[in-house]
Chain A
C-alpha cells in the first residue's frame, strides 16, 4: 500500500524537471523530449487519482493522452525535420525568423 500522495508528489517533481529541461535545452529535439516528460508526469497523476478514487475513467484518459502524444510526436518531428533542413541547425536560437 503506497499512499497516493507519494505518487502525486513524484508526478509534481517529474513535471518540474520537465519544465527545467524545456527551459534549459537548446536542441529542438531535446526540448520536444521535455514535453513528452511532462505528459508522462501528468499520466502518472491521472493513474494515481484513478486508483485512489476507485474509478477507471482516469486510465481511459491516460490512453487518450498517449494517443495525442503519438500524433503530436509524428507532426512535431516532421516540423523538426523541416526546420533543420531550412536552417541547417538544430539550435532553437537560430530559428528566430518566421520567414527566411
Chain B
C-alpha cells in the first residue's frame, strides 16, 4: 500500500467516525465539534488530491466561519440535550432503509462505471491556484459577480429575520 493510499484511509476513517459521532451525540455542541472534525479531514483529502486552494477555503470558510456561526447560535439559544419522542422511533424504521438505499444506488453506479474514469488523482500540482483564479475570473466571472448579490441578500435576510419585533 502506497503512502498516499494509507493517508487516504486514515482521513476517510476520521471523516466517517466524525459523521457517526454527529449522529450519536445528543448535545448540539458535541455534534458541531464532530462536524468540524469531518471538515478538517475533508480538507486533508483535498490536499492529498492536490487542490490546495480548495483545502484552504474549506478550513477558513467551513471550519472557521460557518461553524463559528453554528456555535454562536447554539450558545445564544442555550441548546441542551435532544429530547426523544415517539416519532423518532418511526424515523429509525424509515430512515435507515432510505439511507442504505441511496448509498447503495450511488455505490453501485460508481462500481459499474469504474472503467470509464481516467486513472486517478495525482497528488501533483495539476491545478495550481493561478489556473483556478484565471478560470474563475474569465469563464465564471458572471456567476462570481452574482454570488456577491447572493451574499448581500442573505445578509439582509438574516438581519430582517433575527431582529426583535417592536
Contact = CB atoms under 8 A, between A and B. Distances in A.
A9 B39 CA distance: 17
B49 A19 contact: no
A14 B19 contact: yes
Given A10-B15, A78-B162, A30 B120 contact: no
A53 B77 CA distance: 45
Nearest to B48: A2
Interface of A: 1-10, 12-21, 23-27, 29-30, 32-34, 36-37, 40, 43-44, 47-48, 50-54, 56-57, 59-60, 62-64, 66-75, 77-82, 84, 90-91, 93
A72 B110 CA distance: 29
A72 B92 CA distance: 27
A20 to B, nearest CB: 4
* Interface SS majority for chain B: helix
Interface of B: 2, 4-5, 8, 12, 15-16, 19-20, 22-23, 28, 31-32, 35, 38-39, 42, 45-46, 48-51, 53-54, 57-58, 61-62, 65-66, 69-70, 73-74, 76-77, 79, 82-85, 87-88, 91-92, 94-96, 98-100, 102-103, 106-107, 110-111, 114, 117-123, 126-127, 131-132, 135-136, 140, 143, 147, 150-151, 153-155, 157-162
